[in-house]
Amino acid sequence: MKHFVISDKNNRLFSFRKICIIIFAAFISGIIAGTFIALTRDLPQIRSLESFRPAGVTRIYSADGILLSELYLEKREPVQLKTIPYYLKAALVATEDRTFYRHSGVDIKGILRAIIKDIIAGEYAEGASTITQQVAKTFFLTPKKSLLRKIKEAILSFQLERRYTKDEIMELYVNQIYFGSGAYGVESASKLYFGKSAKYLSLTECAMIAGLPKSPSRFSPLINLNAAQKRRNIVLKQMLATGIISETEYNTSAGNPVILFNHEQSRVIAPYFTEYVKNYLEEVIGASRLYRGGLTVHTTLLSNLQDAAEESSANGIAAIAKRMKKRGMSNPDPQCALIAIDIKTGGIVAMTGGNDFYKSPFNRATMALRQPGSAFKPFIYALAVERGFTQHSLLLDAPVAFKGGKSGKDWIPHNYSGGYEGEITLRRALAISENIPAIRLAEILGPSSVAQFAHKLGIVTPLAPDLSLALGTSGMTLVELSSAYAVFPNMGKYIKPFCVTEVEDHRGNIIWRTKPQKRIAMSEEGAAIMTNMLEAVINEGTGAAARVLNRSVAGKTGTTNDHKDALFIGFSPSVLAGVWVGRDIPASLGKGETGAKTALPVWIDFMSKALSSKQDEVFKVPDGVVLVKIDPATSHPAASESQVVTTALYRKGTEPE
C-alpha cells in the first residue's frame, strides 16, 4: 500500500515538472515569437522592389537636339546585369562578398568573426554584410549602426534570397549602391570617373570602381587619387587570390595609372540658360519631379546661335577690358550679357548672362536691374506714333529747364553731344538720340502714360513716372527690354519670351507643353513705322556701324550717365538680340564707352553669325501704311532722285506732300 502511494506521488511530481517545462517552453517561445513579431511587424514589404523605380536623371536638350545639362538628386542610370563586364561583377564579389553565390543571404561565419572583433574592441562597430544585406539596408533600412538594425537586415536578407535569384539581387546592388562623388550605380560611376558606359570598362577601371563601396568618400579618385589607386590594387590582389585574373594580368593592371575623364570638356553647355530653365521648371512642375522624375526637357535654344553669342560676348569683353586697362583701370572686370529671341515665336534662342558662370552664376540678362539709358526712347516715340505723331512731326531741340526736380532744384538736362539742332523731326531726333526732344515728347504725352505704354509693350519692372524716364533712368532687365522691342518687328504683337517647349516623362509621354502668352500691344501700322524709324538709327544715326551687315536690320543704342551701362537692342525680321555691357557694381566703363562703341560691336558680331545662313529678309509692311521717299535730314519728300534719299513709312493720309 505504501509502495503505491510513493509511486503515485512520484507520478504527480513528474507530471507537475512536465507541466512546468511545457509552460516555461511556451513562455520562452512566446517571448521569442513576440520578439520576432516586434522586430518584423514594421519591416517593409520586399514586394515593393518589383514596382521600385529609382530617381532618374532629367536631361535638358536644345531645340536642335544637343544635350545641355543633366539634373538629379542622385546621379543614377540603371543598367541590366548582362551589360556589365565580367571583371566588374567578379571584382565586386571578390571584394564585397566572396561567398555571395553560396550563402542564403547572411554569412554566418563572417558575422561570428565580426562579433568577436566587436567584443575585443569593446563596442559595436559593424557586422559583416553580404551583398544581399547591403541591398536590404540600402533599400529598406537606415544607415544607423545598431544590433536591432542588424537583425532586421538579416531577416530581410533571408526574404530577399527566397524571392529573388542571385543575379536579380546583384542587379539591384550594382544599380543602387553608392560609388562616391554623387554617383549611384556602376553606370553613373563609370561615366563620372571614366567618361564612358560601364560596358566599356577595362580590367583596371573595373577594379577601381569595385573598390569604392567600402568607403566611397575616402576612395573617390576625384577626392584622393592616390588612395583610389592603392585601393584599386588591393582589389586586383583579391581578384588574383580568387583566381579571377592571372598574375600577368595583375602585374600589368596594378602598374597602370588611373586615368580619369577630363570634366573640363563636359562642362554644362549654355550654363546661364540651363540655370534659367531649371529655375523656371521648378516653379511650373515642381522641384521633386524635376530632379527625380527622369524627364526629358526640350528647350528653345539653338546651339549654333548660343555658340555665336558666347564667342561674340567673349570677343567684345576682351576688347573692352583692354581699353579699360589702357586707361589705367585696375581689375576692371567688365561684364557682358546677351539675349537673342525668335521674333515670331518668342522663344529664347541664345543667352549669356556674364563672362563666366562658374565664377559668377548671377544672370545679368534676366536678373540684373540696370538703366537702359537711351534704349528706352523708342517706347516714347512709339506712344507718340500711336497718338498720331508722324515721322516728320517737329520737336524743339533747345536748352530747357524744368522746375522742381527730384532734388528740389531745377532740372536742366543736356544732349550727349552738347549741341542743339533747333526744330528737329521725330525721325532724326531718335536716329541721333537727342535727349531734349525725347524729354519734351514725354512731357507732351505725360510720363505716366509713357510708363503705362512701356508696360503694355512688355516692361514688367515698375517705372518711375517722371520726365527722367525719357532718359532711361528706371532700371529693368535685359530680357524684358529686349522682348518689348520685339513688338515692333512682330507687327505690334507682344509674346512673352519663353525657354521650354515641352517636357516628357521617363516613358516619353508629354506632361507639360508651353502655351505662349501673346497679346496685341500696339497697332500694326504703328509697329511698322517704329521699325522703320529704328532702321533710321542704323542708316542715318548712332547705329551706323551696323551697316556693315548689309541687311535689313534696326535697333537703338543706349548709354547711361557716366558710361555705367552700354546697350544695343536690335533686330532683323526674324531674330532680335539685346546686348548689355557694364560692371556689377555700377561704375564707369570709361569715357567714350557708349552703346555704339561698346555694345554695338558685340551685337554686330553676333548678328553676322546668326544671319549668315539666312537669305536677306525684309520687314513686313501692313496695308495701312505707305512708303515715301524722303530727304533724311528734313523728312520732306525727295525732290529728285539725285539727292540722298531714304524710305519712310506713314499711315495713309498722314504722309508729307
Same domain for 455 and 560: yes
599, 580 Cβ separation under 8 angstroms: yes
* Domain assignment present for 167: yes
Q: Are residues 614 and 653 in the same domain?
A: no
- Between CA 511 and CA 500 the distance in angstroms is 13
- Of 21-25, 38-42, 43-47, the least confident: 38-42
What is the CATH number for 430?
3.40.710.10
| Pair (591, 459) in one structural domain | yes
> Do residues 616 and 628 share a domain?
no
Same domain assignment for residues 635 and 610: no
Is residue 134 very low, low, confident or very high in pLDDT (cuts 50, 70, 90)?
Answer: confident
282 falls within a domain = no
Of the residues 69, 77, 96, 635, only one is catalytic, namely: 96
- What residues contact 539, with CB distance under 8 A and at least 6 apart? 547, 632, 646
- The answer on 313 and 200 residing in a single domain is no
Choice among 188, 253, 374, 482 that is catalytic: 374
Q: In this model, does residue 463 exceed pLDDT 80? A: yes
Tens digits of residue pLDDT in 109-124: 666 666 566 566 555 4
Query: pLDDT grade, residue 103 (50/70/90)?
Result: confident
Question: At which of 266, 292, 320 does a domain end?
Answer: 266
Q: How many domains does the chain have?
A: 4
Q: Are residues 496 and 521 located together in one domain of the fold?
A: yes
Question: What is the extent of the structural domain holding 184?
Answer: 74-266
With a cut of 90, say whether residue 84 has pLDDT above it: yes
Q: Is 374 a catalytic residue?
A: yes
| pTM across the whole model | 0.78
The pLDDT value given to residue 641: 63
Distance CA 88, CA 389 (A): 77
Q: Is there a catalytic annotation at residue 96?
A: yes
Q: Are residues 642 and 615 in the same domain?
A: no
User: Is residue 1's pLDDT more than 60?
Assistant: no
Nearest to 396 by CA among 379, 418, 417, 421: 421
Structural domain includes residue 88:
yes
Does residue 272 belong to any structural domain of this protein?
Answer: no
User: Can you tell me the distance from the alpha carbon of 535 to that of 646, in angstroms, rounded to the nearest whole number?
Assistant: 10
Cβ atoms within 10 Å of 11's Cβ, excluding its own: 10
Same domain, 607 and 545: yes
The answer as to whether 188 is a domain residue is yes
pLDDT band, very low/low/confident/very high, at 407 (cuts 50, 70, 90): low
Listed residues 266, 295, 328: the one ending a domain? 266
Mean pLDDT, residues 90-96 taken together: 93
53 located within any domain: no
Q: Are residues 95 and 23 in the same domain?
A: no
Q: At residue 284, does pLDDT exceed 70?
A: yes
Residues 478 and 556 in one domain: yes
Those residues with Cβ within 8 angstroms of residue 424's Cβ, 6 or more apart along the chain or in another chain: 394, 395, 396, 397, 434, 437
The answer to whether residue 56 is domain-embedded is no
Asked if pLDDT for residue 395 goes beyond 50, the answer is yes
* Residue 321 maps to a domain: yes
pLDDT bin (cut points 50, 70, 90) of residue 5 is very low
Same-domain status, 599 and 656: no
- Spatial CA neighbour of 494 closest among 460, 470, 535, 462: 460
